[in-house]
Amino acid sequence: MLARRALPRLQQCHRLVPFLYIRLYSTTKLSNGITLAYDLHEPAKKAERGLRDLRENAPPIVFLHGLFGSKKNNRSMTRDLNRPVYALDLRNHGDSSHDPRHDYNALAEDLELFLQHHKLTRPTLIGHSMGAKTVMTLALRNRVPIANLIPIDNAPVDAALHRDFIKYTQGMRKIDETTIHRQSDADAILKDYEESISIRQFLLGNLVRQPDGTQKWQIPIKILTNALDNMADFPFKDPEEARWEGPVLVVRGTKSHYVADEMLPVLGRFFPKFELADVESGHWVTSEKPEEFRKAVVEWLQDKE
């Protein structure tokens, strides 16, 4: 007989299957009314030394996904980091709250409140795409102490999103208008808007089965469609008025245009201690070249300890 796993004290969502509780994710209700869902990945050394000692000697990492992503995207990135890793669902994504406001100051405020709630002092913040601009915004707001920044394939500039994101929303809205029972049927619709099966699977990961057997988007497509201009923007315009002097590793895909060479001078004015790690990939760095990404991050963090 399977033993019933004890539930941790953290507020959490779970489902009951015969004789077993399976922990899916935890949630935190923030003082601004937003609820953020997250996974906490604890390294193996926890059992030997205790989580408290581990946190004191290895500050935690907070990992943020990109637009249309979720905490699930970063599970494989926690290996070899040897410290607690919080993988968050940002607002309007995954299992977190939906809210009409979706811009970088709002996303950064959510993250600030999350760090304060969990008493995460001087964490390393890693974010891809939308998550990259979120962690850079948080650093420049300078309201909570952080140790290191690792933005992945985005720069602190106003730059139009690749037109693919507009196509994604068109395809997703088309699916929303159709009665879908099988993910393969949704994929057939999305093929008209995106050729890459890996990107389609990434987007389709946001579908959830309803009690009536149909599949619907878990994310608010209309809100995120309306927020595309905000996601292209960056809230800080003048490096003379806002600058963060801490260590920054900018990881960029060499086949992507989001951190072009001509953007590096502006990046350096906002973040004068930034270093650059090039990975031979497109925009989806962590999924296209996960080992190369992990190696770059682990080696860089080792130098900072």
Q: To which residue do tokens 């004890």 refer?
A: 6
Q: Name every residue whose Cβ is closer than 8 Å to that of residue 186 and which is 6 or more positions away in sequence.
A: 175, 180, 204, 207, 215
Q: To which residue do tokens 């060499």 refer?
A: 254
Indicate the DSSP class of residue 4: P
Q: Name every residue whose Cβ is closer than 8 Å to that of residue 177 and which is 6 or more positions away in sequence.
A: none
250 within 8 A of 259, measured Cβ to Cβ: yes
Q: Which of 129, 256, 281, 287 is catalytic?
A: 129
Q: Which of 93, 97, 283, 287 is catalytic?
A: 283
Question: What does the alpha-carbon distance between residue 87 and residue 74 come to, in Å, rounded to a whole number?
Answer: 7
CA 248 to chain centre: 17
Give the number of other CB atoms < 10 A from CB of residue 143. 13
Pairing mode of beta strands 248-253, 207-209: unpaired
Cα-based angle 174, 179, 184 (whole degrees, multiple of 5): 80
Cα-based angle 69, 278, 157 (whole degrees, multiple of 5): 60
Give the number of other CB atoms < 10 A from CB of residue 266. 14
Per residue, the 3-state secondary structure of 224-240, as one string, reads: HHHCHHHHHCCCCCCCC
Q: To which residue do tokens 């919080």 refer?
A: 86
Cα-based angle 202, 283, 137 (whole degrees, multiple of 5): 100
Reply yes or no on whether 117 is catalytic: no
DSSP string, 256-272: -STT-GGGHHHHHHH-T
Reply yes or no on whether 70 is catalytic: no
Could you list the active site residues?
Answer: 129, 283
